[in-house]
Homo-oligomer: A and B are copies of this chain.
Amino acid sequence: MSEQQSLVVQPLTAQAFAPFGEVIDLRDVPSAIINQGLCERHSDLITFDVDEQGGKLGLSLFQSQRRSFPYRLEMVERHPLGSQAFIPMSHEPFLVIVAPDQAGQPGEPLAFLTQAGQGINLFKCTWHGVLTPLEGFGRFAVLDRIGGDGSNLEEHWFAHPYTVFAG
């Protein structure tokens, strides 16, 4: 944990995000060209990982207020029982904050800025900040575990909040 407790956003890339989840984006080459040549299909981009125990994968909408830089990061959370995908429903970047796990606690967070048109799928049990749209409509489609037994939410509040800068 740095003394300054500040974070600077970096561009979201599949490689940098690989320990935490998957970037939802077009591949270099489409899986198929459909609709009489007018549409690229890029198939099967993420892995759903849901502990059922009576639960299931569901589609939800999140309608969020927008945030702005500098952003104050006070807490992260994680979902021990399932992956969680966020698909923006408007064409703007959003802020993604994740942190590695260190013996059950979040380590130093990383802040990523998506490109417009990208989504993310967080792996099960990845520490992450709450949904933080910066511009636009603030609506996201979310694919995560619905219902079932067990607690699927763990929160960690930082003793010293971070300030996230646009860079």
Contacts and interface: CB of A to CB of B under 8 A. Distances in A.
A44 B43 CA distance: 23
B146 A43 contact: yes
B58 A141 contact: no
A115 B64 CA distance: 18
B60 A41 contact: yes
A103 interface: no
A93 interface: no
B35 A130 contact: yes
Given A89-B91, A89-B117, A139-B117, A146 B44 contact: yes
| This protein's copies in its complex | 2
B87 A90 contact: no
A113 B61 CA distance: 20
Interface string A125-149: 0000011000011010111001100
A45 B62 CA distance: 11
A69 B146 CA distance: 40
Given A25-B61, A63-B40, A63-B42, A137 B35 contact: no
Interface in A26-46: 26, 30-31, 34-36, 38-46
B35 A131 contact: yes
Contacts of A60: 31, 41-45
B85 A59 contact: yes
Contact of A24 (B24, B40, B59, B63): B59
5 contacts: A24-B141, A40-B64, A88-B89, A91-B91, A91-B139
